[in-house]
Amino acid sequence: MNGQNPNGQLDPALKERLLRESRTPWRGLRRLLWIALFASGGLGLFVMSFRVSAGDRVVLSDLAIQIGAVITFGGLLWFDRSKDG
């Protein structure tokens, strides 16, 4: 199967998929990056919360960086989601 009809035109489903991909290039790789960075910030926040619960001190600027990373990359994941369902 080469994606062409007998009359030489592209299959409509293939054409739609290619057009959608051309509108959002590198979307899969970009989302993978957002997920990895979101998970990194979440893990850092998780570790810091356990340090605080154990009575250890946590530098406020480090906590702010982790919270900012979770919010930023979570927002990027949200805005980069598929709009068509």
What interhelical angle do 27-53 and 60-79 show, nearest 10? 150
Judge whether residue 82 has pLDDT over 60. yes
Give the pLDDT of residue 4: 62
Residue 57: left (phi > 0), alpha (psi -120 to 50), or beta? beta
Rounded distance between C-alpha atoms, residue 37 and residue 84, angstroms = 25
Neighbour-count burial of 53, counting CB atoms closer than 10 A to its CB (0-12 exposed, 13-18 middle, 19+ buried) = exposed
pLDDT band at 78 (very low <50, low <70, confident <90, very high): very high
CA distance 32 to 50: 27
Residues in the chain: 85
Model pTM score: 0.73
Q: Which residue type does 16 have?
A: E
